[in-house]
């Protein structure tokens, strides 16, 4: 039972354009959502998070949007840069168990072409 789903295994965009990565969740108890970026053979790096009391959080080129009624969140990267090419994981916590346990999606490989 996959509670966090990233339905696009990969995404390719041109440098300078917007990248939009999507994530859906099924557990209505989730109340904290995060995005991580991961390069091969390295650990994930935290990018941005959002609490369920908000619908938008912005940090520089990265913005996360949360639609609770649709159980959907998205990460927008504007403008996209070649260094943004990596696997992006969506994660959520608060699903009725430990608040400190994250459930991850399978990731989306973003490729930003020069």
Partner 1 sequence: DGGITQSPKYLFRKEGQNVTLSCEQNLNHDAMYWYRQDPGQGLRLIYYSQIVNDFQKGDIAEGYSVSREKKESFPLTVTSAQKNPTAFYLCASSKQTGKSPLHFGNGTRLTVT
The residue range among 10-18, 33-41, 59-67, 69-77 that interacts with partner 1, by the rule CB under 8 A, is 33-41
Q: Does 45 participate in binding partner 1 (rule CB under 8 A)?
A: yes
DSSP the chain: --SEE---SEEEEETTS-EEEEEEE--TT--EEEEEEE-TTS--EEEEEEETT-SEEEETTEEEEEETTTTEEEEEESS--GGG-EEEEEEEE-SSS-TT--EE---EEEEEE-
Nearest CB to partner 1, comparing residues 69 and 98:
98
State the minimum distance, in angstroms, from the CB of residue 36 to partner 1. Answer: 8
Q: Does 73 participate in binding partner 1 (rule CB under 8 A)?
A: no
State the minimum distance, in angstroms, from the CB of residue 15 to partner 1. Answer: 27
Interface residues with partner 1 (CB under 8 A)? 4, 6, 9, 31-32, 34, 36, 41-46, 49, 51, 89, 91, 93, 98-107
């Amino acid at each position: 039972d996959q509670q966090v789903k990233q339905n696009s295994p990969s995404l390719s965009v041109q440098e300078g354009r917007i990248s939009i990565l999507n994530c859906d969740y099924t557990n209505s108890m989730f109340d904290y959502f995060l995005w991580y970026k991961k390069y091969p053979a390295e650990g994930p790096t935290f990018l941005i998070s959002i609490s369920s009391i908000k619908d938008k959080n912005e940090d520089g080129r990265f913005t996360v949007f949360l639609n609770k009624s649709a159980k959907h969140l998205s990460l927008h990267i504007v403008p996209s840069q070649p260094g943004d090419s990596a696997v992006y994981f969506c994660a959520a916590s608060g699903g009725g168990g430990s608040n400190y346990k994250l459930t991850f999606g399978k990731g989306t490989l973003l490729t930003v072409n020069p």
